[in-house]
Structure 1
Amino acid sequence: MRSPLLSATLTVLLVCMIGWLLVIGRSLLLPFVIALIVWYMINSLAHLFAKVPIGRWRLPGFISFTLSLLSIFAVSTIVLDIVTANLSQLAQDAPTYQRRLEELFNQVSSHLDFNDPIELKDLLPDSVVPRMVTAGASLVTALAGSASLVFIYVLFLVLEQSTFDRKFERLFASPERAQSAFAIRAEINRSIMHYFSIKTAVSVATGVLTSLVLILIGLPYAALFGFIAFLLNYIPTIGSLIGVIFPSLLAIVYYDTLGPFFAIATGLGLIQFAIGNLVEPKLMGSNLNLSGLVIMLSLAFWGAIWGIVGMVLCVPLTVMIVIVCARFESSRPVAVLLSETGDVGFSGSQDSKK
């Protein structure tokens, strides 16, 4: 019988090896992971369209799937065009904001009567604002450049998805094991669908409300900041904070007074607080059953491995780990430690079927 120390050592080595493979294979894995997300979104939206009643009829599968493809393509194109246009304009205006920021530092230093005035270059590198904007534009360009590879992956996933269930079933030696695996997959799908549907709805609401507040106050690039707020809302805890900081900092250098800055910071802060602490928890409920500390650790871990994409996916990936580990007696302690309440539901009897 294998000793507990040997099992723990092998487990740690396996985790380290998987983490190493995820890091070195990032350039190959990320486009495929993004393609999986797009493919999942296409099928989820098609399933939603198929449920829409039209009198006594419902949309056939191929029509709902086609509508889903067209909808996602149209929304992606519109959003990419808006973000690209806003980033291009922001890149042109960046030197002006850089000079304005330097003037503010000089004014603060003069008011405080410093013997050695504080300059922007003392705290941040030269041309930091243009560099940040250029980095954002480079990110959008990189995403657009990898779109063709993502499209190819999505195309093959769509063409072969009819065979996935048959292949998955034949991976197992007995129908009982296959049935158990299908049950795990169905539960993972329900949890992730629940998470992404609610998270997408509240993220859209956050982005729209952010844009409306900035439009009412008169800050430029409202659509860009709305999209940033939408995207960052998928990142637990720190995403909402960053979504408030960016437009607030621009308000400091764009306006001559601090009134708009306080209005934007307060308005966006209230939006993030209301949606993140009142609306979203009420809609999400206890379905995820993840510890807050585990979410933060997962955020740091996946962010270090896959960057922004890893931060967005940290919660669904952790949910998958909890659900799978809860099904087996040997890995059930891992699920208990990752969960919020310690109640992971399953007795672990699946090990007896192995």
Structure 2
Amino acid sequence: MPYDHPPQDDSTRRDTNRLQTGALIIIAFAVVLFLLVQARFILITLATAIILFSLTSDVISFIARQRIGRFRIPNALASLVAMVLIAAALLMLTSVLLAEVNTVLVTTLSYTERAPSAIASLFAWMGEDSEMAVLNALRSANVSSYLRSAAGQASNIMQATVLVILFVGFLFAERIWFETKLINFVGNEAQAARVGKIIASIIHRVNYYLLVKTVISAFTGALVFLLAKAFGLELATSIGILTFVLNFIPNIGSIVATFLIALITHVQIGEAHITLAIFVISAIIQFVNGSIIDPMLMGRALRLSSFGIILSLAFWGAVWGVPGMFLSVPIMVMLLVVCSYVPGLRPLAILLSREGLPETEQMLDQPIEHDLFGNERR
């Protein structure tokens, strides 16, 4: 008589399925993480190109709808003009950034000899032994090799810029077919329209975030430039530009910019009271712009959890480095909107949202407008 295995009950079968599903999720996450790290250069440039394309696609559509008498601006002409302007702006910004990096590196080399003593003096309050330990550690560091490495990394910016321009150009060339491709891909016009509204919501929120962040960062960079100029710092222009750029990194960027200007001041001037004054004034500027003006303008436009922003910043910074920090908030906005409309992922959207109230299905059919301070009117 053959041996019969006892049948598995439903609970055992469910536990096995959950175990298999969990293992598959872990494996899939590991594979995706591996691909994100290995293809980081291509993926970073592609993500940047998509964001630039989304920033200008609505403007192109608006221009193409305008009429000059009986003449209507062709969509192809509007796309070509936008492409030329984007390419010129990216190349100009890259050239300015590389020039400022070169200025900073050259000036830093001139400060290499006195910088260790100036930095070590900041630890004098901890005792002479601590000051000497910091001084010896700084002198043992090969600053020149670090600077050459930084210069080599900066040269990759131009390659990335050219690749971003190519990506944006091909996106512009195919933008007129996006709607047709979406309908054929989904296979249902109603579902394609829903997906299109979700994409439009993502573009709207990312564009609004970048617009407000650019205005606030430019204002902060200008104030810090005037502060550095008032105290006669040699790198006033570079400090202002770096402050503008670093403020796109949420939370951490403003802190780094504040300590950077204080460090440069102490190395150049060497007066503790002047360094403290610049540090305090710069910190006040960053606090007012980042904690008062920025939230007031953003309003509830993003609905992002502060803790979620920190997690996104840490994750993408670990995966893609500094570029990942710049892209962390736009990526989190995309995840929040997508998870809001996928029933199985809605719990994740609740965790990512600030008040635990992500978007609902009804919001897709309601146009989103903002007043001057970023408060939503529906």
Query: TM-score normalised to the size of structure 1?
Result: 0.85
Distance 1:346 1:41, change over 3 A: closer
Shift of 1:309: 1.6
Which residue of structure 2 aligns with residue 263 of structure 1? 277
Aligned partner of residue 290 in structure 2, secondary structure: helix
Alignment of 1:134 onto 2:148:
yes
Structure 2 letter corresponding to 1:238: I
Aligned partner of residue 181 in structure 2, secondary structure: helix
Aligned partner of residue 192 in structure 1, secondary structure: helix
Distance 1:277 1:100, change over 3 A: same
Which residue of structure 2 aligns with residue 120 of structure 1? 135
Aligned partner of residue 99 in structure 1, secondary structure: coil
Which residue of structure 1 aligns with residue 349 of structure 2? 335
Q: 1:100 aligns with which of 114, 121, 128?
A: 114
Q: Deviations over 1:33-58 (max 9, x none)?
A: 23223333343554677799999x99
Q: Say whether the 8 Å CA contact 2:91–2:161 is kept in structure 1.
A: no
Unaligned runs of 5+ in 1: none
Percent of aligned pairs with the same amino acid: 28
Using the alignment, how far apart are the partners of 1:108 and 1:191 within structure 2?
Answer: 43
Which residue of structure 2 aligns with residue 186 of structure 1? 200
Using the alignment, how far apart are the partners of 1:263 and 1:53 within structure 2?
Answer: 56
- How many residue pairs get aligned? The number is 348
Distance 1:167 1:263, change over 3 A: same
Alignment of 1:309 onto 2:323:
yes
Shift of 1:298: 0.8
RMSD of Structure 2 on Structure 1 (CA):
3.3
Using the alignment, how far apart are the partners of 2:235 and 2:65 within structure 1?
Answer: 37
Using the alignment, how far apart are the partners of 2:58 and 2:150 within structure 1?
Answer: 30
Q: Say whether the 8 Å CA contact 2:83–2:168 is kept in structure 1.
A: no
Q: Deviations over 1:114-157 (max 9, x none)?
A: 499335342574233x4444344223211113333332222222
Q: Deviations over 1:137-185 (max 9, x none)?
A: 2232111133333322222222122112211121112222212211211
Using the alignment, how far apart are the partners of 1:194 and 1:248 within structure 2?
Answer: 32
Structure 2 letter corresponding to 1:268: S
Using the alignment, how far apart are the partners of 2:328 and 2:230 within structure 1?
Answer: 34
Q: Say whether the 8 Å CA contact 1:53–1:59 is kept in structure 2.
A: yes
Alignment of 1:230 onto 2:244:
yes
**Which moved further from structure 2: 306-315 or 252-261?**
252-261
Using the alignment, how far apart are the partners of 1:18 and 1:148 within structure 2?
Answer: 26
Q: Which has the larger radius of gyration?
A: 2
Which residue of structure 1 aligns with residue 309 of structure 2? 295
Distance 1:105 1:206, change over 3 A: closer
Q: 2:300 aligns with which of 261, 286, 299?
A: 286
Structure 1 letter corresponding to 2:285: I
Structure 1 letter corresponding to 2:137: D
Using the alignment, how far apart are the partners of 1:341 and 1:106 within structure 2?
Answer: 45
Alignment of 1:163 onto 2:195:
no
Q: 2:29 aligns with which of 15, 39, 57?
A: 15
Distance 1:255 1:49, change over 3 A: farther
Q: 2:258 aligns with which of 219, 228, 244?
A: 244
Q: Deviations over 1:262-291 (max 9, x none)?
A: 232122211111110000100101221121
Structure 1 letter corresponding to 2:181: K
Using the alignment, how far apart are the partners of 1:170 and 1:324 within structure 2?
Answer: 20
Q: 1:321 aligns with which of 310, 335, 340?
A: 335
Aligned partner of residue 132 in structure 2, secondary structure: coil
Structure 1 letter corresponding to 2:141: D
Which residue of structure 2 aligns with residue 146 of structure 1? 160
